[in-house]
Amino acid sequence: MNIGNTDISAFGSRIATHDRFSPETKIYVAGHRGLVGAAIVRRLEREGFSSVITRSHAELDLTSQAEVNDFFARERPDFVFLAAAKVGGILANSSYPADFIRDNLLIQSNVIDAAWHHDAKKLLFLGSSCIYPKHAPQPMKEEHLLTGPLEPTNEWYAVAKIAGIKMCQAYRRQHGFNAINLMPTNLYGPGDNFDLETSHVLPALIRKFHEAKERGDAEVVVWGSGKPRREFLHVDDLADASVFLMRGYDEEEIINVGVGEDVSIAELAEIIRGVVGYEGDIVFDDSKPDGTPRKLLDVGRLNALGWKARVGLKDGISETWRWYVDHGQGNQG
């Protein structure tokens, strides 16, 4: 197999088959209180993994190299899911660019290096679709990485994520460390962030429609024209893909994780209105910016490996709304 001009088939053969991921192995999920980390822990528990190690941010600050090294020296996990990161929307990224680039570079460098140094068998790093160029052809393929300028609003975060990808690839080449890179699309699901200042579009719309229904509002205003198209993957599907790839994917190339289909914001708003049972009107405020017309991942490589997303958008939204009603309403910035 070729990456650029390099034949990497030799690297795969360094990975011993007896080191396979199984319920007896010791797993560390970094970032287990986050949307993704919590879904991975749920998934592992359901499969009977009995040795899943977690530490909260307060117990282990992953930006501290000394703390991370001590933790790995003591615990020596076999497999590592790196789902801890400093994550946020446009406002947070543009207000705190130094924090975004610093924290993410430190977290990923500390964890990847310590995992290798303390003989972990494999590490799964989570990137994001924002690593692709702003004007990448749609749907975006893995080979579009580093082919053009990034979206400026979150380039600090994206540059850190690209460094994480390259670090995994470099450790594989130099040390034979089995580190793999997943690029998920926009995620949603139980545990999502419903704070209107910092949340993504899908949970924000769930909250807006829910509150409008409770108050009996005549209309809900949705920012933009409603025309941009976006892809949404349920976080349980991402957890499923992560376990699938931890079990069977040992390549240097990055791999997209998505649904392979998108919806317009207007279609999304209509689905959410139906799920929530709101009977008023939807009004699009096209004085607000639309952003990129389309952002869709090409998931052909992942599909060819035998994995497909399973959670339908309507069902996933319904479950997420239920979660919001039961747990999420404390989270109302």
Ligand X SMILES: NC(=O)c1ccc[n+]([C@@H]2O[C@H](COP(=O)([O-])OP(=O)(O)OC[C@H]3O[C@@H](n4cnc5c(N)ncnc54)[C@H](OP(=O)(O)O)[C@@H]3O)[C@@H](O)[C@H]2O)c1
Residue 168 as a binder of ligand X (CB under 6 A): the answer is: no
Q: Which of 87, 162, 179, 313 binds ligand X (CB under 6 A)?
A: 87
Residue 152 C-beta: closest distance to ligand X, Å: 18
Site for ligand X in 13-32 (CB under 6 A): 31
Concerning whether 28 is annotated as a catalytic residue, the answer is no
Residue 60 C-beta: closest distance to ligand X, Å: 6
Cis peptide before 139 (omega within 30 of 0): yes
Residue 187 as a binder of ligand X (CB under 6 A): the answer is: yes
- Kindly tell me which of 107 and 220 has the beta carbon lying closer to ligand X: 107
Give first-to-last CA distance, the chain, whole Å.
49
Q: Which of 109, 169, 186, 242 binds ligand X (CB under 6 A)?
A: 186
Given a contact cutoff of 8 angstroms between Cβ atoms, the answer to whether 284 and 204 are in contact is: no
Query: Which position's Cβ is nearest ligand X?
Result: 34
If we measure between CA atoms, which residue out of 299, 302, 303 comes closest to residue 141? Answer: 299
Residue 9 C-beta: closest distance to ligand X, Å: 29
Beta-strand (E) ranges in the chain? 2-3, 6-7, 27-30, 52-53, 79-82, 122-126, 179-184, 186-188, 219-223, 229-230, 232-234, 255-257, 263-264, 281-285, 294-295
Among the listed residues 28, 132, 157, 188, the single catalytic one is 157
Site for ligand X in 137-156 (CB under 6 A): none
Residue 57 as a binder of ligand X (CB under 6 A): the answer is: yes
* CA-angle at 16, arms to 309 and 255, nearest 5°: 30
Rg (CA), the chain: 20
Instruction: List interacting residues with ligand X (CB under 6 A).
Output: 31, 33-37, 57, 61-63, 83-87, 103, 107, 126, 128, 184, 186-187
